[in-house]
């Protein structure tokens, strides 16, 4: 294509960007400088201080403002002649329907979560608009192209799931620091500052409490006239002392495990130190809520230092005092937020105290925050590289050169002398329920499971539908929408509570239901197979969906050793999905899942194996005399000296 046609394709394109964060800022800048004239941006987020180190379109004065709107204003300062339309909204809002997507030449994703990615993928398929997907984590990145009928869609291959841990491991037998973090975040923090009526294993009482006449009293309920110091000390002794002693009473558990040691306040802090911890009033009077910090009060300045057990205990007490003194109104409704510094301090200190009890190495606040928020810290350069690759692939799409499109992986360390690994896009997966409309199979006990179970555990959770409609034959069993009258809403609500086999049009083994999302224009057929029993541990949903595949969740490797960054092992991998903007689901290291269900390492792609028989095209090797790394972008060779 001539340069004139090339420029015409760019200038005549109408582009939709979804996400104005780490990748989005770089992408908007690159699109503007590449000659694109009509750009639309959707992002629901506002700017936070933690964004400023890499999202270069934003400044301190922009904190709290819309990312999409501020990004637009920043780019128009150096490209005032182009049109940029911002939407401070959720891409899943009804306004952004199939008709909205049809107006665009190409959609470019810079999102940070799986749910939104799936939603955009389905809208692009329904609107028949090409999608360029992307993601980064640390030094790793990837760009993939999805064209309806020509390449696999975003959901053709399974995506790694968040790692989950058995409750018994978290509450009774932790062996890794991540277990302590999950305990501190999801159990202790939730019990202290969330809904105190929720039951969890922290309600275990000591022998002393259980034998008292008032044994029904909730340990976490602050007693009348009990000051903050007394309450904090009682909680500390309960969760780190009494509960550990209670666990030790089950001798069978510790036959082949190292026994934990109970930790009480009197064992760690002298009365003098404990009283000092409760004397933070002067500091609190001068601090605003957003800058409250137990570290600041205690003079602990470096978040990368590993605190001692005594320091962790003091941080725990100081943080609790700050919460109960200055943020009392929030208590009862709080959930953990990685951007809430005081919350991170509580979780870090509690996790470290528990780790000390179980003989697990302690971690710094920096490391603990990364684990608690599933964070791999962003690298601005990776975002810039990925944004450039997105634009390159978008231009190919606009020039109708789909055959030249590539999935490109950005590596941390060279593989066969390359840091950018291009791979031919895969063909659509014929078994994909999204783009190939292949029926799914649901094994379920139709005499026990309710329609609500199917909606919550399958339709919304696994299939990612926002406005589901469920039919059995010509009978409508369930629907969601704002235009329903009161009788219909009541009827569908009643259906939710009915067992499948007792619905007006019974769902039993051998029947087929149709599930549809009108917003996404996605339709799935689900064949029902009755099954009596399920393994509670392996099949906790009480039902199993076949044809919908999700990569096995795998634990992140030693985060402490890497501060949440990538290791040399992961650097040579092609993760199936990478998340942008600091948010990272815990992924399996070095593995890519392909449609056959087998797994391979990216290093396999770069070896001179007979890849023509597989789905990837072998990339030629070019090495100059100086040993510099040659970065390959299809037929274009660029030299990058290390």
- When mean pLDDT is compared across 112-116, 293-297, 392-396, 591-595, the lowest value belongs to 591-595
Give the separation between CA 47 and CA 28, rounded to whole angstroms.
16
Residue 253, SS3 per DSSP? helix
| Whether the predicted pLDDT of 459 surpasses 60 | yes
CATH architecture of 175-359: Orthogonal Bundle (1.10)
Q: Do domains 175-359 and 440-546 have the same CATH topology?
A: no
The radius of gyration of the chain from alpha carbons, rounded to an integer in Å, stands at: 27
Mapping DSSP to helix (H, G, I), strand (E, B) and coil, where does residue 45 land?
Answer: coil
Q: What angle do CA 385, 573, 611 make, to 5 degrees?
A: 105
Instruction: Report how far residue 54's alpha carbon sits from residue 146's, in angstroms, rounded to the nearest whole number.
Output: 28
44 vs 7 pLDDT, higher one: 44
Please, which pLDDT band fits residue 550 given cuts at 50, 70 and 90? low
Which one of the listed residues 25, 153, 156, 168 is annotated catalytic? 168
Contacts for 4 with CB less than 8 Å, ≥ 6 apart:
none
> Which CATH number is 440-546 given?
3.10.290.20
Tell me how crowded residue 65 is: count the other CB atoms within 10 A of its CB: 14
Q: Where are the domains of the chain?
A: 1-167+375-434+556-642, 175-359, 440-546
Pick the CATH number of 1-167+375-434+556-642 from 3.40.50.1820, 3.30.43.10, 3.90.700.10, 3.40.50.720: 3.40.50.720
Q: Is 168 annotated in the active site?
A: yes
Reported as a single tens digit per residue, the pLDDT across 513-547 is 999 998 888 899 999 999 999 988 788 889 999 88
Q: pLDDT tens digit string along 183-221?
A: 999 889 988 998 766 666 665 444 444 444 344 467 788
pLDDT at 49: 78
Q: Does the predicted TM-score (pTM) go above 0.75?
A: no
Using one digit for the tens of pLDDT, what is the confidence trace for 94-134?
899 999 999 999 999 999 888 899 999 999 999 999 999 99
């Amino acid at each position: 294509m001539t340069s004139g046609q090339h420029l015409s394709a760019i200038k005549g394109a109408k582009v939709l960007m979804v996400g104005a964060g780490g990748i989005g800022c770089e992408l908007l800048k690159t699109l503007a400088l590449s000659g694109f004239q009509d750009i639309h941006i959707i992002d629901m987020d506002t700017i936070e201080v933690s964004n400023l180190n890499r999202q270069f379109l934003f400044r301190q004065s922009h904190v709290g403002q819309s990312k999409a709107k501020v990004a637009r204003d920043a780019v128009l300062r150096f490209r005032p002649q182009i049109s940029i339309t911002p939407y401070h909204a959720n891409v899943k809002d009804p306004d952004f329907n199939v008709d909205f997507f049809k107006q665009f030449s190409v959609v470019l994703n810079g999102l940070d979560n799986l749910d939104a990615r799936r939603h955009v993928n389905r809208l692009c398929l329904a609107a028949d608009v090409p999608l360029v997907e992307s993601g980064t984590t640390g030094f790793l990145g990837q760009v993939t192209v999805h064209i309806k009928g020509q390449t696999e869609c975003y959901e053709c291959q399974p995506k790694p799931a968040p790692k989950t841990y058995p409750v018994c491991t978290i509450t009774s037998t932790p062996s890794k620091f991540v277990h302590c973090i999950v305990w501190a975040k999801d159990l202790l923090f939730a019990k202290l500052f969330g809904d105190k009526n929720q039951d969890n294993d922290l309600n275990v009482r000591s022998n002393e409490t259980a034998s008292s006449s008032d044994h029904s009293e909730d340990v976490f309920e602050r007693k009348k006239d009990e000051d903050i110091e007394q309450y904090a000390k009682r909680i500390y002794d309960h969760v780190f002392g009494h509960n550990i002693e209670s666990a030790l009473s089950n001798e069978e558990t510790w036959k082949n495990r190292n026994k934990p040691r109970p930790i009480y306040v009197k064992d760690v802090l002298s009365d003098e130190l404990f009283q000092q911890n409760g004397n933070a009033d002067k500091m609190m009077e001068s601090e605003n809520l957003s800058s409250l910090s137990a570290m600041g009060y205690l003079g602990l300045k470096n978040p990368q230092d590993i605190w001692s057990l005594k320091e962790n205990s003091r941080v725990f007490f100081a943080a609790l005092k700050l919460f109960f003194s200055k943020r009392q109104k929030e208590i009862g409704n709080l959930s953990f937020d990685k951007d809430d510094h005081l919350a991170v301090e509580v979780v870090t200190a509690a996790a470290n105290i528990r780790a000390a009890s179980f003989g697990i190495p302690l971690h710094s606040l920096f490391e603990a925050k990364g684990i608690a928020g599933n964070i791999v810290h962003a690298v601005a350069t990776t975002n810039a590289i990925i944004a450039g690759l997105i634009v390159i692939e978008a231009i190919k799409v606009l020039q109708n050169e789909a055959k030249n499109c590539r999935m490109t992986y950005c590596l941390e360390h060279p593989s066969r002398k390359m840091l950018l690994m291009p791979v031919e896009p895969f063909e659509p997966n014929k078994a994909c329920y999204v783009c190939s409309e292949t029926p799914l199979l649901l094994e379920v006990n139709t005499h026990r499971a309710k329609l609500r179970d199917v909606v919550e555990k399958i339709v919304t959770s696994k299939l990612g539908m926002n406005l589901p409609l469920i039919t059995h034959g010509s009978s409508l069993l369930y629907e969601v929408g704002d235009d329903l009258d009161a009788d219909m809403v009541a009827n569908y609500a009643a259906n939710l509570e009915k067992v499948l086999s007792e619905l007006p049009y019974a769902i039993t083994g051998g029947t087929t239901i149709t599930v549809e999302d009108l917003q996404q224009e996605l339709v799935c057929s689900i064949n029902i197979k009755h099954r009596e029993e399920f393994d509670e541990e392996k099949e906790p949903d009480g039902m199993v969906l076949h044809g919908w595949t999700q990569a096995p969740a795998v634990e992140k490797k030693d985060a402490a050793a890497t501060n949440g960054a990538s290791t040399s092992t992961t650097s040579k991998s092609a993760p199936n999905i990478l998340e942008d903007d600091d948010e990272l689901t815990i992924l399996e290291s070095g593995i890519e899942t392909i449609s056959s269900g087998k797994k391979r390492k990216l290093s396999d792609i770069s070896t001179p194996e007979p890849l023509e028989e597989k789905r990837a095209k072998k990339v030629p090797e070019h090495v100059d005399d100086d040993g510099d790394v040659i970065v390959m972008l299809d037929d274009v060779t660029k030299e990058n000296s290390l």
